[in-house]
């Protein structure tokens, strides 16, 4: 005798995620973070004057944070960048990213981001090296000199956390927070979803929608009105 479960045909409630969990970095916070990075130091030249010394680590970190901010790419994709991935296509500079599932795509480089990357390359002295060499490299902590090794996704995350702390910003933010901010900002400006989807490297528009924080506007004023 076969006993049928009367509840077998009843479908449970589908848990539908309408918004991702990654916190968004605000535009003001992102500007504050970039501005907080020291890229030069003025020192006494010993002759009654001063001389400006550029700081390699600061230039590198600013270029990495600006890349996250202005391309909406993942930390892992930024870590994989090689010198040859920063290139001129005949009309403008682009960054060629290697994304998940062996996807490759090019993102145009804004003029300010181009300046940050160029400044880093000039001081690092690596622009003329082989094109397959890492773009963003780790440094020796004591000497602050570049190694030949690329930054990793983990080290970029640690860099972001360290810089957030130094700038007095919430440490719950992460490299992914820049993707959330970029998607939300562009959609708020009315940029078509399919264009934002391509920038973010998503295969499905519903994935891009998870990064949209336009509806997340529960303010302190609202919760203060709860009468419980």
Quick: pLDDT tens for 47-94: 777 667 889 999 999 999 999 999 989 999 999 999 999 999 898 999
Reply yes or no on whether the pLDDT at 145 is more than 70. Answer: yes
Q: How many CB atoms neighbour CB 105 within 10 A? A: 15
Q: How many CB atoms neighbour CB 156 within 10 A? A: 23
Tell me the pairing of strands 104-108 and 137-139.
unpaired
CA–CA separation, 223 vs 228, rounded Å? 11
Quick one: tokens of 121?
Answer: 């390359």
CA distances 152 to 62, 78, 138, 163, Å, are: 16, 9, 8, 16
Predicted model pTM: 0.81
- CA-based nearest residue to 171, from 182, 156, 161: 161
Rounded to the nearest 5 degrees, what angle is found at the Cα of 109, between the Cα atoms of 166 and 215?
A: 65
SS (H, E, C) the chain: CCCCCCCCCCCCCCCCCCCCCCCCCCHHHHHHHHHCCCCEEEEECCCCCEEEEECHHHHHHHHHHHHHHHHCCCHHHHHCCEHHHEEECCCCEEEEEECHHHCEEEEECCHHHHHHHHHHHHHHCCCCCCCCCECCEEECCCCCCEEEEECCHHHHHHHHHHHHHHCCCCCCCCHHHHHHHHHHHHHHCCCCHHHHHHHHCCCCHHHHHCCCCCCCCCCHHHHHCCCC
| Beta carbons within 8 Å of 174's beta carbon, 6+ residues apart | 22, 23, 157, 160, 161
Q: What is the pLDDT of residues 189-214, one digit of tens each?
A: 888 888 888 888 888 888 788 777 66
Q: Are 27 and 161 in contact, with CB atoms under 8 Å apart?
A: no
Reply yes or no on whether the pLDDT at 15 is more than 60. Answer: no
The pLDDT of 33-46, averaged and rounded, is 86
> What integer pLDDT is reported at residue 191 of this predicted model?
87
> What integer pLDDT is reported at residue 16 of this predicted model?
46
User: Domains (ranges, CATH) in the chain?
Assistant: 28-37+50-215 (1.10.443.10)
């Amino acid at each position: 005798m076969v006993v049928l479960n009367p509840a077998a045909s009843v479908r449970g409630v589908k848990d539908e995620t309408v918004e991702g969990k990654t916190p968004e970095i605000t535009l003001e916070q992102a500007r504050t973070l970039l501005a907080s990075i020291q890229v030069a130091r003025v020192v006494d030249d010993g002759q009654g004057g001063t001389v400006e010394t550029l700081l390699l680590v600061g230039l590198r970190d600013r270029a990495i944070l600006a890349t996250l901010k202005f391309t909406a790419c993942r930390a892992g994709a930024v870590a994989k960048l090689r010198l040859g991935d920063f290139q001129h296509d005949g009309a403008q500079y682009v960054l060629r990213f290697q994304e998940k599932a062996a996807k490759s795509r090019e993102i145009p480089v804004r003029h300010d981001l181009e300046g940050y990357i160029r400044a880093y390359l000039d001081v690092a002295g690596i622009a003329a090296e082989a094109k397959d060499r890492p773009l963003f490299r780790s440094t020796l902590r004591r000497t602050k000199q570049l190694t030949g090794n690329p930054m990793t996704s983990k080290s970029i995350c640690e860099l972001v956390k360290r810089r957030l702390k130094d700038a007095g910003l919430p440490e719950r933010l992460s490299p992914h927070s820049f993707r959330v901010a970029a998607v939300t900002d562009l959609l708020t400006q009315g940029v078509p979803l399919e264009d934002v989807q391509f920038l973010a490297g998503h295969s499905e528009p519903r994935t891009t929608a998870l990064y949209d924080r336009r509806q997340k506007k529960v303010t302190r004023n609202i919760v203060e009105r709860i009468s419980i």
